[in-house]
Amino acid sequence: MGKNGHVGATLKKVNNPYRAEMLREHRRKLPKGQYRHVGYQTRQVFDIDIARAVTEYQAEVVADEKGHRIVAPFPEGVTQAAQYEEGVKAHAVYLSQFQLRPYNRIQDYFADQFMIYKNRMNLQILIKFMQRLIKGSKKKIFLILDNLKVHHRYKVQAWLENHEAEIRVFFLPSYTPEVNPDEYLNCDLKSGVHSDLPARDKNQLCQKALSHLRKLQKLPHRVMKYFKHPKIAYAA
């Protein structure tokens, strides 16, 4: 429930959390008896770090010979089936109090930070991406794009003209991947995705990619090294 005058929002569990953490019940601490594993109770904690990351805590459930069940304890503060991480709550308070965002728009703000598309790039996806870039930005955005046909579509150019004070696009010369900063990120990403155990399906591949990108978010100096290459130093 939201506060008076504000629309409330209820989190719902996701089917594919970013990671799952097993919480084992310590048999030695239980009353004497024979226990068997009978399942898990789950609670999910939502965190925000550019992309949504959901951690699912799976508390083991055991039962004694009489059928009495005992659930392993969840971490302190994890009390709901689905809830936000404490850092997200603090961020929401900051947005509401200092950026004057209504509470009923904060959830939309969080959702706008996540974008994974599985089909081909189209003008709707591109425009939505650029909308997210300028949303809440206090400075003009400079975006570097290659010459994919959709980047030059009339509706895209019309949108850019209507937002020229907020964003400007620079197009790379044709057939010059070596001057595209994205290619250096792609190389780093591919290296990370192919490390450790290989992904067995699309969902695992997506999770590995997201995990590596989240890692790079916390390593800005690593990303800055991309731009030391003379071919893309122009974008530094």
The domain segmentation of the chain, as residue ranges, is 1-114, 116-235
The two tokens of residue 49 are: 């770090």
Percentage of the chain exceeding pLDDT 90: 10
Task: Give CA–CA dist 206/131, Å, rounded.
Answer: 23
Q: Residue 159 has what pLDDT? A: 94
Q: 86 vs 1, which has greater pLDDT?
A: 86
Task: Give CA–CA dist 64/68, Å, rounded.
Answer: 6
Is the pLDDT at 14 greater than 50, yes or no? yes
The two tokens of residue 142 are: 């400079």
Task: Give CA–CA dist 7/182, Å, rounded.
Answer: 39
H-type alpha helices, the chain: 86-98, 103-112, 123-134, 154-162, 181-193, 202-217, 220-226
Q: Residue 95 has what pLDDT? A: 44
Range 118-123 contact pairs with CB under 8 angstroms and sequence separation of 24 or more: 118/202, 121/148, 121/150, 122/150, 123/150, 123/153, 123/155, 123/156
Is the pLDDT at 62 greater than 80, yes or no? yes
pLDDT band at 11 (very low <50, low <70, confident <90, very high): low
The two tokens of residue 6 are: 């504000």
Task: Please answer whether residues 60 and 71 qualify as being in contact, where contact means their C-beta atoms are separated by less than 8 angstroms.
Answer: yes
pLDDT band at 156 (very low <50, low <70, confident <90, very high): very high
Q: 106 vs 139, which has greater pLDDT?
A: 139
Q: Residue 158 has what pLDDT? A: 94
Q: Tens of pLDDT along 21-58? A: 778 888 778 888 888 888 888 888 776 544 455 778 88
Is the pLDDT at 90 greater than 80, yes or no? no
Give the predicted TM-score (pTM) of the model: 0.50
Q: Residue 121 has what pLDDT? A: 86
pLDDT band at 81 (very low <50, low <70, confident <90, very high): confident
Question: If you search the block for the tokens 């206090």, which residue do you land on?
Answer: 138
Question: If you search the block for the tokens 């997200």, which residue do you land on?
Answer: 88
Q: What angle do CA 61, 62, 68 make, to 5 degrees?
A: 110
pLDDT band at 10 (very low <50, low <70, confident <90, very high): low
Looking at CATH, the fold of the domain delimited by 116-235 is given as Nucleotidyltransferase; domain 5 (3.30.420)
Looking at every residue in the chain, the average pLDDT score rounds to: 77
Mean pLDDT of all residues in 190-203 = 82
